[in-house]
Structure 1
Amino acid sequence: MATVSAAITTADGTTAVAAGTHSHDLLESLDRPEAPLLVSPQDARELSRQFFARLAVLEEGTHEYQYVRNTLIEMNLSLVRYAAGRFRSRGADEMEDIVQVGTIGLIKAIDRFDVSREVEFTTFAVPCIVGEIKRFFRDTSWAVHVPRRLQEARVELAKATEELRSRLGRTPTVRELSELMSLTEEEVIEARKASNAYNSASLDAALSGDAAQDSEAALADFIGEEERALELIEDFHSLAPLIAQLDDRDRRILHMRFVMELTQAQIGEQLDISQMHVSRLLNRIIKRLRKGLLETAA
């Protein structure tokens, strides 16, 4: 059994140091609840003071230390439920995740709490729990990840827009928003664009309303256009080995005609041959490449 020098607060408020006190004896002096999860918030506040005092003098990693720490977690889970209640508008499906993340915040608060600062644990813990939940939303809720400064700017933009709309009776301009938020107009515009990354919709999701003529219509049916250049990519890949088989002059002719976009007469001048000869050479080269492509496709 581990032996420690313990600082114990007596009934009259004085502090006594019990050198050589066994950690088991420290636990025996605690008011240990039979069901920590069922302890009321008021009782948990009083009991937590005792448990934090013991946690401060117990050796980390011992059975006694783990018992005190775990009991503190269980007794204060009501703080997590209280903090999670602020986010109930997000729906029941997310509430389980919110409580789990809030519990992580509670554990971090217990590990960081310093009893010597004479601050109520609830005062210290609730901001830690809420902060952990907000970080969770900031890191996971965005459909497309954007920098943290833009995530925060989006929140401020929404507040400023609502404030000015109620004050002016209309939608505020970018300049008015920039003056209220102490940002440049470019930063306000950037924050607006970042807001579009918060939610996303599937291109295959069925549409309803006037835009869709039937229930099977999807967003992808109404946006975008065909890019014919993309259809040529496969042909380019197939052409590469065929062009590599040509001799230097044929490759040069192809380059001058289709890359440099020279006329047949200009090509003839550079090669010191007639325009008619260039035309025959181009026809022969193109027929050879077309035949090679057809054989590849077959």
Structure 2
Amino acid sequence: MPVTTLASLGSPARRAAAAARRAEQDDRNARSVALLTEALDAPEAERRRIQQRVVVDYLDVADAVASRYLARSQDAGDLRQVAYLGLTKAIQRFEPTRGADIVSFAVPTIAGEIKRYLRDTSWLVRPPRHLQELHSELRTTIPGIAQRLGHEPSAAEIAQETGFSVDDIVQALDCGQSRQPASLDAPHGIAADGLGTLTLGDTLRATGTEFARAEVAAALADACRTLSPRDRRILYLRFVHEQSQAEIARECGVTQMQISRLLTKILATLRGRLTPDLLAA
């Protein structure tokens, strides 16, 4: 039988299947809207039970939305759970008196929940939120700009098209590497003797003094956490903002002499919580 005949036979079948699916979805929507309308006047416990019933009936919609965002670095089970949470929120917020299409209302809520989850968990090194959001936006806009210009756009061209500054564009593009930072074992050239390969870790060297300072800083941070909020505030004003004792006294509402005594007491407390080796460093 010719291919055209097979195609002509298949097309009505596909249309019939699509019509059946639409009819099934319409029936489910009408049934769920009726349930949620009934829940409006129901007691709290009954309303929650009805909403949960509708949520279970629409889990396939949440699964479909979650599948759009599934990446190799994301656990599929976690992503589905986030999608189910978004679906639950959507059903709880749905007002049957103001709209009749549950899917159209739920999908943006589910997608928004997934996007927030990915924004907050998929960065191993987290840049500022505005750069995360700009990075996500650029991933969808740059291909269109490249197609329009006929070449890969520069940061200046992207800035001109989007209205963002060049610095923001550069930082947003660079921060995409924070999702999967380079391994310290990644190859980084040939060793000086020509007999081996350097790794990225081989190029990151620090002196013994720098390691000692880092150890002292870590120990000092732990010691500061044992201080009262007032004492930590005084240390912050004195050694970070470099305010004078008189300025700190005015801000804290005490005398300069009291601040002097408090600083002496605080520093003595911190010295007592550091080992002799760390104090010597």
Q: TM-score per shorter chain, which class? A: 0.5 to 0.7
Distance in 1, Cα, partners of 2:209 & 2:29? 69
Report if the CA contact (8 A) 1:105-1:129 is conserved: yes
- State the identity as a percent: 28
Aligned to 1:79: 61
Q: Which runs of 5+ in 1 are unaligned?
A: 1-39, 237-292
- What is the TM-score with the length of structure 1 in the denominator? 0.55
Distance in 2, Cα, partners of 1:231 & 1:131? 43
Distance in 1, Cα, partners of 2:139 & 2:83? 25
- What is the TM-score with the length of structure 2 in the denominator? 0.58
Distance 1:115 1:68, change over 3 A: same
The structure with the largest alpha-carbon Rg is 1
By relative contact order (CA 8 Å, sep 6+), the higher-ranking structure is 2
Q: Give 1:157's match in structure 2, choosing from 133, 138, 156.
A: 138
> How many residue pairs get matched?
192
Aligned to 2:267: none
Q: Which runs of 5+ in 2 are unaligned?
A: 1-23, 217-276
Distance in 2, Cα, partners of 1:215 & 1:84? 45
Q: CA RMSD in A?
A: 3.3
Q: Which letter does structure 1 place at the counterpart of 2:175?
A: A
Distance 1:171 1:54, change over 3 A: same
Question: Offset of 1:110 from its aligned partner?
Answer: 1.0
The 3-state SS of whatever aligns with 1:162 is: helix
Distance 1:54 1:217, change over 3 A: farther
Distance in 2, Cα, partners of 1:174 & 1:92? 28
Distance 1:73 1:231, change over 3 A: closer
Q: Which letter does structure 2 place at the counterpart of 1:67?
A: R
Aligned to 2:38: 54
Q: Which letter does structure 1 place at the counterpart of 2:64?
A: Y
Report if the CA contact (8 A) 1:208-1:215 is conserved: no
Distance 1:145 1:210, change over 3 A: closer
Given the alignment of the two structures, is residue 230 of structure 1 paired with residue 229 of structure 2, yes or no? no
Distance 1:142 1:232, change over 3 A: closer
Report if the CA contact (8 A) 2:126-2:178 is conserved: yes
**Greater helix share, 1 or 2?**
2
Distance in 1, Cα, partners of 2:93 & 2:58? 15
Report if the CA contact (8 A) 1:44-1:76 is conserved: no
Distance 1:216 1:105, change over 3 A: farther
